[in-house]
């Protein structure tokens, strides 16, 4: 289906019960839904590189996490003497965004709807741009209010994998001492686990995910590649400016999530004010913050 927006003709499709849009170049075609500003498909010569979103297994594809990434203690946070309730990963992933730009190779989505559980005059934009075999994803958080604003953001793309997980490896951009933070019910337990790696390579296996997400908080690398000696496709994710990397999958499911976050998961039992939340970003009145990660498909 073809439609007009701001003088541009663009392709649409149906996805997640919303009218999704398509951006494309000679190497990639990306389908994005206004519901959550979520990518539904990234198609290249190898096929669809994102998980298909089977609701019987895990019904998402690449949710956008704002204004928090991860779970809050008792699904609550405290700010300015008040207590607010907010579910895991915030409200953006279930909110309807407005399409503010759509060209052949780029699209932008805006969410600025007031929220009872978020007491800030905010604007949150998600920008997608294609550059050859790369998808450039930029999150823009703007404070339209007269006082400070506190927010964070995270990515949650689920990449389709063929064969067994043990066929696959994570290859970091630099040599690393691979230590993860252990989690209990979506929060940091305080325990750590050290993995044996060969130089920059961490072999994957299902046992890594029976407890929860792998949390990398001390990486020197600003990028990681998911690759296999048995399958030709690979994906590299770079995350300059996003300090934490989560790796997650549902055990037995044919996908792996590579998730750059600006904040780490909360420690178990954290009850501090939002301003004290680890990794939270302070945005002064009238200011804005951008965070970008880049997905390179090979």
CA nearest neighbour of 82 among 273, 277, 279: 273
pLDDT tier for residue 177 given thresholds of 50, 70 and 90: confident
The CA distance from 83 to 271, in Å, is 10
Q: For residue 3, what pLDDT band results from cuts at 50, 70 and 90?
A: very low
Q: Is the pLDDT of residue 199 over 80?
A: no
Tell me what pLDDT residue 107 has: 98
> Is the pLDDT assigned to residue 17 strictly greater than 70?
no
Residue 2: pLDDT band (50, 70, 90) is very low
How far is residue 234's CA from residue 41's CA, in Å, rounded to a whole number?
Answer: 16
The predicted structure's pLDDT at residue 18: 63
pLDDT value of residue 55: 93
Percent of the chain scored above 90 by pLDDT? 75
Q: Tell the burial category of 266 from Cβ atoms under 10 Å away from its Cβ (0-12, 13-18, 19+).
A: buried
Place of tokens 């003497």: 81
For the chain, the straight-line distance linking the first and the last C-alpha, in angstroms and rounded, comes to 29
Give dist(CA 92, CA 140) in Å, integer.
13
Would you state the pLDDT for residue 183? 81
Q: How confident is the model at residue 58 (pLDDT cuts 50, 70, 90)?
A: very high
For each of the domains in the chain, give its residue range(s) and CATH number, in order of start: 2-159+248-297 (2.70.98.10)
Q: Residue 8 pLDDT > 70, yes or no?
A: no
Average of per-residue pLDDT across 74-87: 93
pLDDT at 259 over 60: yes
What number is the average pLDDT over the span 268-273?
A: 86
3-state helix, strand, coil split of the chain in percent (to 5) is 5, 50, 45
Residue 182: what pLDDT?
84
Model confidence, pTM: 0.90
The whole-number pLDDT of residue 255 equals: 96
Residue 11 has pLDDT above 70, yes or no: no
Of the two residues 128 and 11, the one the predictor is more confident about is 128
> What average pLDDT does this structure show over 6-28?
66
- What pLDDT sits at residue 14? 45
The span from the CA of 217 to the CA of 225, in Å, is: 17
When pLDDT is averaged across residues 193-222 and rounded to a whole number, the result is: 86
Please tell me the least confidently modeled range out of 52-61, 108-117, 211-220.
211-220
């Amino acid at each position: 289906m073809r439609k007009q927006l701001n003088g541009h003709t663009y392709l649409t499709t149906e996805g997640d019960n919303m009218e999704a849009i398509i951006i494309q170049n000679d190497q990639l075609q990306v389908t994005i839904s206004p519901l959550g500003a979520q990518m539904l498909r990234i198609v290249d010569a190898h096929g669809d590189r994102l998980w298909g979103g089977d609701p019987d297994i895990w019904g998402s594809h690449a949710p956008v996490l704002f204004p928090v990434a991860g779970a809050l203690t008792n699904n609550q946070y405290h700010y300015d003497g008040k207590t607010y309730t907010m579910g895991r990963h915030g409200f953006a992933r279930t909110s309807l965004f407005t399409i503010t730009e759509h060209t052949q190779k780029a699209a932008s989505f805006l969410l600025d709807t007031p929220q009872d559980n978020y007491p800030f005059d905010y604007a949150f934009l998600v920008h997608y741009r294609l550059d050859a075999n790369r998808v450039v994803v930029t999150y823009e958080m703007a404070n339209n209010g007269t006082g400070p604003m506190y927010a964070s953001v995270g990515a949650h793309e689920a990449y389709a994998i063929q064969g067994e997980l043990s066929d696959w490896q994570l290859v970091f951009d630099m040599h690393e001492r691979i230590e993860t933070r252990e989690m209990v019910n979506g929060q940091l337990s305080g325990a750590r686990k050290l993995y044996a790696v060969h130089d920059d390579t961490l072999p994957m296996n299902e046992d890594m995910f029976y407890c929860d997400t792998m949390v990398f908080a001390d990486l020197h690398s600003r990028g990681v590649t998911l690759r296999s000696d048995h399958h030709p496709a690979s994906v590299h994710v770079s995350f300059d400016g996003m300090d934490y990397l989560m790796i997650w999958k549902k055990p037995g499911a044919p996908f792996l999530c590579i998730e750059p976050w600006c904040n780490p998961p909360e420690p178990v039992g954290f009850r501090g004010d939002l301003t004290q939340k680890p990794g939270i970003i302070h945005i002064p009145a009238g200011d804005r913050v951008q965070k970008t990660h880049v997905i390179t498909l090979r």
